[in-house]
Structure 1
Amino acid sequence: MSVYTGSLASVEGKGHTKKVVLGLMENHLNCGRSIFMDNFYVSVDLAKELLRKKTYCTGMLRGNRKGNPKEIVNAKLQKDSLLQNIKMVYL
């Protein structure tokens, strides 16, 4: 088991959160597992990478995250609804 405590030289710099998640999930990818993440770690780019590795993710996407497609950020949702078919459009 690996526990990320906030600092590792191997995950510093650009793409830090993606490196952290992929590093922690290293032995659990390509198995059809699901991961639940805090909004600090969630990104569209990471979701695409995890899906390519047969791993599903759930988490709240920050609207101001760099690289988010405008169609996702600007989507208007009804109360208690889900944004569906994003996987089909963006992945």
Structure 2
Amino acid sequence: MKVMDVLLNADRRVFADNWYTRIPLAEQLIQRRPRLIGTIRSNRRGIPKHVLEKKLKRGSVVAEQNQLGVVVLKWKDKRYFDGIHYP
């Protein structure tokens, strides 16, 4: 978190790859204003089981939001997805 001191308490977006993205990090950041956007590995703790285990057909989406506002989203498509949602 020390690296991110300049971003804390500011309305910023932090983009991360699946090496850095974790549910606890997203929860810590959401309480201090920056938002974490990134891909997450399926073996990370805190991902809702029904999101992981849901078998999706092409074009389908499943998502869940926890009490702190962290959203986990899974989709299946053959095309590239390009979109950002700002709450």
Alignment TM-score, normalising by the size of structure 2: 0.60
**Counterpart-to-counterpart distance in 2, 1:77 and 1:27:** 40
Q: 2:7 aligns with which of 23, 28, 39?
A: 28
Deviation at 1:68, TM superposition (A): 3.3
* Pairing partner for 2:41 from 62, 79, 84: 62
Kindly state the Cα deviation for residue 69 of structure 1 after the two structures are TM-superposed. 3.5
- Determine which structure has the larger strand proportion and give its number: 2
- Pairs within 5 Å for 1:7-86: 22-77=1-56, 79=58, 83-84=62-63, 86=64
CA distance in 1, matches of 2:12, 2:61: 21
Unaligned regions of 5+ residues in structure 2, if any? 69-87
TM-align CA RMSD: 2.3
Identity %: 32
Residue-pair matches, total: 68
Structure 2 vs 1, CA of residues 65 and 31 (structure 1 numbering), >3 Å: closer, same or farther?
same
Hey, what's the Cα distance between the residues in 1 that align with 2:2 and 2:56? 33
Query: C-alpha deviations, 1:33-67, integer Å up to 9, x for none?
Result: 10000110001111110000111011101001234
Residue 52 and residue 42 in structure 1: after superposition, are their counterparts in 2 closer, same or farther (change >3 A)? same
2:25 and 2:42 mapped to 1: Cα distance? 15
Residues 43, 68 of structure 1: 8 Å contact kept: no
One-letter code of the match for 1:53?
R
